[in-house]
């Protein structure tokens, strides 16, 4: 296993975090649902998935970091459900919920609500994905993901690990953090 930083060409690497990224994206979309309809769901997903992927690159920048996550586990969605009230009507038999990473959910929520932090995160850990809907959402994107983009609505989740995100950006030498 290598400890080299993840290349900016995408997620093709020895330690694959795509199940964690998928589960965390799914959790954010279920806890903060987009407007009704397939198009709204897809537009919101196209904003959330890159935010989670960018958060993962910041949080787990090497194969060693990602391997440790996969070895120790993510912690699941339990605390996030409790904080958002999503645990009131739990749906049994959803094994993907065990793959949700609380820190990634918190960092992605922060990236969705703070354009300055998105810019800083991209400068520190560029991803091999299209980030246009995350960085420059149009009116349809914003309408589809209104709750996910609303700083006050997301405050409970963003506050969980904001300091850690800011410390990560500062440690990477990004000016202003």
Handedness of CA 140, 99, 104, 27 (dihedral sign): positive
Tell me which residue has tokens 């060693």: 64
**pLDDT value for 11:** 42
Residue 157: what are its φ and ψ, rounded to 5°? -80, -45
**pLDDT value for 87:** 64
**pLDDT value for 86:** 73
Token reading at 158: 């963003």
pTM: 0.87
**pLDDT value for 94:** 83
Per-residue pLDDT band at 2 (split at 50, 70, 90):
very low
Q: Is the pLDDT of residue 175 over 70?
A: no
Other CB atoms within 10 A of residue 112 CB:
30
The C-alpha atoms of residue 42 and residue 25 are separated, in whole angstroms, by: 12
Q: Write the pLDDT tens digit of every residue in 153-165.
A: 999 999 999 999 9
Q: Write the pLDDT tens digit of every residue in 34-58.
A: 999 999 999 999 999 999 999 999 9
The average pLDDT across 81-98 equals: 77
Q: Write the pLDDT tens digit of every residue in 103-153.
A: 999 999 999 999 999 999 998 887 777 889 999 999 999 999 999 999 999
Higher-pLDDT residue of 10, 25:
25
């Amino acid at each position: 296993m290598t400890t080299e930083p993840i290349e900016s060409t995408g997620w093709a690497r020895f330690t694959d975090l795509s199940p964690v990224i998928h589960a965390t994206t799914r959790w954010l979309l279920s806890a903060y649902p987009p407007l009704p309809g397939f198009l709204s769901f897809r537009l919101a997903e196209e904003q959330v998935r890159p935010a989670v992927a960018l958060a993962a690159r910041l949080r787990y920048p090497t194969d060693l970091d990602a391997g440790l996550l996969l070895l120790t586990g993510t912690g699941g969605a339990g605390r996030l459900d409790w904080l958002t009230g999503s645990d009131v009507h739990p749906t049994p038999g959803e094994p993907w919920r065990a793959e949700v990473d609380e820190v990634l959910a918190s960092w992605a929520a922060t990236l969705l609500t703070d354009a300055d932090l998105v810019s800083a995160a991209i400068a520190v850990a560029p991803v091999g994905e299209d980030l246009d809907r995350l960085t420059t959402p149009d009116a349809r994107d914003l309408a589809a993901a209104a709750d996910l983009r609303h700083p006050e609505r997301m405050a409970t989740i963003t506050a969980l690990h904001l300091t850690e995100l800011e410390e990560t950006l500062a440690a990477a030498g990004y000016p202003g953090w």
